[in-house]
Amino acid sequence: MARVSIEDVANLAGVSITTVSRVINNKDYPVAEKTKKKVLKAVKELNYFPDFTAQNLRNNFSNTIGLITREISDPYFGIIARAVTERASYYGVLSIVCNTGRNPVNELQYHDLLWQHKVRGIILSGGGLDADDYRDKLQEQIKRYNDHGNRIVSLAPQGLEMPYVTIDNRATGEMITDYLVDLGHRKIAFLGGPEQIYTASERVKGYKLSLTKHGLTFDPTLLHHGQFSWESGYEAARRLLLENREFSGICCANDDIAYGVLQALKEQNIQVPGQVSVISIGDLPLSTHIDPPLTTAQVPLYDMALRAVDVIMDGSKPDHNASLIFKTPIVKRLSTAPYISGLGQG
């Protein structure tokens, strides 16, 4: 059974396909009221919907945007996906979601596939990788898109020239460290993400900056590089305890790490925030539910992602190539408290 086409509608209405097209798209093109009625009636009667594949071929653009995520089942990316799909709908375009499973090879492949789909633009949601071939390919992709008037926007620094809607990762790392220092903590650990992810390394830099600024010495045994995951935080915290490190505060590079930390501390009957204060970056929904509720620098992912879609769809805006930096206010909850006494060495 064949789909109903614009021609079917034209035949039923007794007009040309041109007229039908005009009635449907060119809302303000002058068409006789009577003709318009006939056409609309035929459209309804046949339950006609324009074929996007034909429109897209003709228009040299598809009505889709691409979203590249690393792990869509992680609420971090889920929130982004929610915002993107919602805002895309508002613009009347659909969202093609490409989940890489954290494999850069997949990511590169998706770029080509999205290109073939003539997406209006691509939103990158993961942090830039510190690998030459990856960056080269991405750079090439960006150029290709720029040459054709569409855009790749990133929600995390890629270390490349392109539009961003992001946060200041270094400043945020500094901010959460400052927060603990201001509470009187002096021995502060930092549990970071993967070293080769730009976002992660920036947050570490902020941590070090804060220490220096306050005249505190950086202790390498209190810095840990791992994954942005519960397990990584859990393991890192256990190690700190096992090695009997001296500290009273822990900065976590993201919420997931903090969740793991809280569990590890709980298992050892260490009071949070009584003995150790924990702070992180993110503010995922779970952070209000976890015990104790997490003090965290809020990354307004949802708003950022909405804005990223705007940048793609609203390319006319003068600021379309400028970077938008969102603030990351600290949300005070119950996982942090003024310093009383710390852990370790005594």
- Our finding on whether 87 is near DNA (CB under 7 A) is no
x-marked contacts with DNA along 303-342 as a string, rule CB under 7 A: ----------------------------------------
Alpha helices by DSSP H, the chain: 6-13, 17-24, 33-46, 52-59, 75-91, 104-116, 132-147, 169-182, 198-213, 230-242, 255-267, 286-289, 301-313
In total, the chain counts a number of residues equal to: 346
Q: Which of 27, 28, 147, 215 binds a copy of itself (CB under 8 A)?
A: 147
User: Binding segment for a copy of itself among 27-35, 84-92, 151-159, 180-188 (CB under 8 A)?
Assistant: 84-92
CB closer to a copy of itself out of 3 and 34: 3
Report the C-alpha gap between 202 and 271 in whole angstroms: 30
Q: Which does 32 bind (CB under 5 to 8 A by kind): DNA, a copy of itself, none?
A: DNA
CB closer to a copy of itself out of 45 and 319: 45
| Side chain identity at residue 17, one-letter code | I
DSSP assignment of 19-34: HHHHHHT-TTS---HH
- Our finding on whether 62 is near a copy of itself (CB under 8 A) is yes
* Cβ at position 313, least distance to DNA in Å: 17
Report the C-alpha gap between 282 and 75 in whole angstroms: 11
C-alpha to C-alpha distances, 8 to 44, 64, 125, nearest whole angstrom:
12, 26, 43
- Our finding on whether 21 is near a copy of itself (CB under 8 A) is no
* Cβ at position 117, least distance to a copy of itself in Å: 5
Contacts of 255 (CB under 8 A, 6+ apart): 76, 280, 281, 282, 283, 284, 286, 287, 294, 296
**Site residues (CB under 7 A) for DNA, limited to 123-182:** none
* Cβ at position 303, least distance to DNA in Å: 33
- Our finding on whether 28 is near a copy of itself (CB under 8 A) is no
| Structure-token pair, residue 269 | 């009957």
| Number of C-beta neighbours around residue 170 at 10 A | 19
**Site residues (CB under 7 A) for DNA, limited to 57-76:** 57-60
Q: Which does 29 bind (CB under 5 to 8 A by kind): DNA, a copy of itself, none?
A: DNA
Q: Which residue has the tokens 């996007």?
A: 52
User: Binding segment for a copy of itself among 45-53, 131-139, 154-162, 166-174 (CB under 8 A)?
Assistant: 45-53
CB closer to DNA out of 56 and 139: 56
Q: Which does 7 bind (CB under 5 to 8 A by kind): DNA, a copy of itself, none?
A: DNA
Q: Which does 25 bind (CB under 5 to 8 A by kind): DNA, a copy of itself, none?
A: DNA
Q: Which of 102, 118, 135, 239 binds a copy of itself (CB under 8 A)?
A: 118
Report the C-alpha gap between 290 and 294 in whole angstroms: 7
CB closer to a copy of itself out of 96 and 181: 96
Report the C-alpha gap between 129 and 198 in whole angstroms: 6
